[in-house]
Amino acid sequence: MRPQLQTTRTTLRPITPGDDEFLLRVYASTRADEMAVVPWSEDEKEDFLRFQFDAQHKYYQEHFPRAAFDLILLDGEPIGRLYVDRRDDEIRLIDIALLPESRGGGLGGAIMREILAEGEAAGKLVRIHVEQNNPALKLYRRLGFEQIEEQGVYYLMEWTPPGITQEDETVAGKAV
């Protein structure tokens, strides 16, 4: 089940093999600051980013076979990606990323609120791994996500729907 985004201008559609170059562009945009300080040629940076993207994409496809891998479209044009694994006990947000020109205008927050509404309706926790230096960390905290683990450079963060008790969380797989 895919969330029904509330704005009439924003929709989701499943990714296809023809979307790989766009998805690479989205991925590369999330690494732009990091690449800006690396003393490599543009070709070396492009090769590195393609290698990293291919590895990440393959990992996601292999480790989350039931997940929804969607493009985020604004007025029919792709502006980002949303990967969500809807499990029996939780909703795992694998990845959400927007192109730079689509960031900071509230769209990411609106999409996240849709996912949280889905979690609330289903009585499920929503979890996401976030790099510790990711600017979106502030958004996740504002939305009510709490850090539950530190895993290398990532935080595992969790949002608990209203009305879920500690006993419910234990059943859903959270060590309390």
Note the pLDDT of residue 167.
Answer: 55
Q: Which two tokens stand for residue 113?
A: 């609120």
Note the pLDDT of residue 166.
Answer: 53
- Residue-wise pLDDT for 79-113, tens only, equals 999 999 999 999 999 999 999 999 989 999 999 99
Note the pLDDT of residue 17.
Answer: 94
- Residue-wise pLDDT for 29-70, tens only, equals 999 999 999 999 999 999 999 999 999 999 999 999 999 999
Question: Phi/psi of residue 17, each to 5°?
Answer: -55, -30
Q: Three-state SS string across 61-84, please?
A: HHHCCCCEEEEEEECCEEEEEEEE
Please give the order of strands across the beta sheet that includes 125-131.
10-14, 68-74, 77-86, 90-98, 125-131, 154-159, 146-151
Note the pLDDT of residue 7.
Answer: 54
| Mean pLDDT within 18-25 | 97
What are the chain's domains? 10-171 (3.40.630.30)
Predicted structure pTM score: 0.88
Tell which residue, 76, 154, 143, has the closest CA to residue 111: 143
Q: Are 157 and 130 in contact (CB under 8 A)?
A: yes
Cα distance between residue 15 and residue 32, in whole Å: 23
Cα distance between residue 151 and residue 168, in whole Å: 24
